[in-house]
Amino acid sequence: MARELAICRTINDLRSCVKTYRKETGGRVGLVPTMGFFHEGHLSLMRAARQSSGLVVVSIFVNPAQFGQSEDLDDYPRDAERDHEQAGAAGVDVIFSPPVDEMYPQGFETTVNPGSVAEGLCGLSRPGHFLGVATVVAKLFNIVGPDAAWFGQKDAQQVAVIKRIAADLNFDLSIHVCPTVREEDGLAMSSRNVYLSKEERQHAPVLYRSLNKALGMARRGETDTGKIKRAMRRYIASNYLVELEYVKIVDPDSMESLKQIGGPALAAVAAKVGSARLIDNILLPVPAMHESTAC
């Protein structure tokens, strides 16, 4: 049965919507935070939330606090009408899409600093990015008060940051992580893929293929992360359109670099392809098991 999609633009509206639902049904509330311009990655989170929540809330907020000065805040792709249609079809009940001054009114000063998990990888090239992410997600948790929230493995460091703040700040909710949804040629779906020219789009899957190289080496028993990273870098460097930012192999919870693979390990890459900054990652098998336990 088609549900009616409610659109809330203010915190008060959203709160009264959730409050009424809880009072009337006592059901579970699920939250999927997004910046909109939906693709199958976003929709997979909404469908997962639909399966185990009575009320599914999706936030659409292009959060200025997580963009650096020279980044793509103004150009970030947006299409509210299409998003609403797709969310409705995925079974979402409520869209929360506040204007910026609703989330950051005059006088706003507090930030949430997730600590060392936010410092390496994307935290190095995007200083302040994860403070912005942690702050807005903490606000969304407080505004919506969900029983559970869904995030994508595609943004592995963001997942680690959110798990850290949920534990440290005692948010009473469960965090679910869904697998990365990919195009047929392996490119991780991302709202930013629209920035790619036709030629750049053809070359962009090199990132995923480099991760598969890492996976293959780890499966064959290689535990020396230096060797794996060198092979990945060599492979990416052979593509003239891809400007590598980093290749890392880290502990998926702490985001600390690993010299050897002896337990859970995540290979992660970031690169510029034309004007698009793309990230991707893959969980590597724990040596004794030789099987990935992703999501």
Backbone angles phi and psi of 152, in degrees to 5: -100, 140
Candidates 97-105, 150-158, 196-204, 251-259; binding stretch for ligand AMP (CB under 6 A) = 150-158
Region of 87-95, 105-113, 124-132, 147-155 interacting with ligand AMP (CB under 6 A) = 147-155
* 53 lies in the binding site for ligand AMP (CB under 6 A): no
Region class of 220: left (phi > 0), else alpha (psi between -120 and 50), else beta: alpha
Instruction: Check binding of 204 to ligand AMP (CB under 6 A).
Output: no
Tell the smallest beta-carbon distance from residue 151 to ligand AMP (Å).
4
Does the protein bind ligand AMP through residue 95 (CB under 6 A)?
no
> Among all chains, which residue has been given the structure tokens 């680690």?
160
Which of the stretches 76-84, 185-193, 227-235, 237-245 binds ligand AMP when contact is defined by CB under 6 A? 185-193
Compute the distance between CA of residue 37 and CA of residue 39 in angstroms, rounded to an integer.
Answer: 7
If one asks whether residue 154 binds ligand AMP (CB under 6 A), the answer comes out as: yes
Residues 295, 51, 62, 181: what is their CA dihedral angle, to the nearest 10 degrees? Answer: 40
Cα separations in angstroms, 140 against 169, 184, 222, 259:
14, 33, 42, 36
Burial 198-228 (b: 16+ CB within 10 A, else e): eebbebbbbbbebbbbbbebbeeebbebeeb
Pairing verdict, β 94-96 and 55-60:
parallel
Residue from 181, 228, 249, 250 binding ligand AMP (CB under 6 A): 181
Instruction: Return the amino acid letter for 74.
Output: D
Indicate the DSSP class of residue 279: E
45 binds ligand AMP (CB under 6 A): yes
Answer for which of 86, 135, 157, 180 binds ligand AMP (CB under 6 A) is 180
34 is a site residue for ligand AMP (CB under 6 A): yes
* Options 123-131, 138-146, 189-197, 225-233: segment touching ligand AMP (CB under 6 A): 189-197
Confirm or reject binding of residue 135 to ligand AMP (CB under 6 A): no
Nearest approach in angstroms of CB 190 to ligand AMP is: 5
3-state secondary structure of 57: strand
Q: How far is the CB of 63 from ligand AMP (least distance, A)?
A: 8
- In the complex, what is the shortest distance from the CB of residue 184 to ligand AMP, in angstroms, rounded to a whole number? 13
Concerning whether 42 is annotated as a catalytic residue, the answer is yes
Closest to ligand AMP by CB, 28 vs 39, is 39
Q: Which residue, among 227, 222, 215, 194, has the nearest Cα to 268 in the 3D structure?
A: 215
Catalytic residues: 42
Chain positions contacting ligand AMP, by CB under 6 A: 34-35, 41-42, 44-45, 151-152, 154-155, 178, 180-181, 188-191
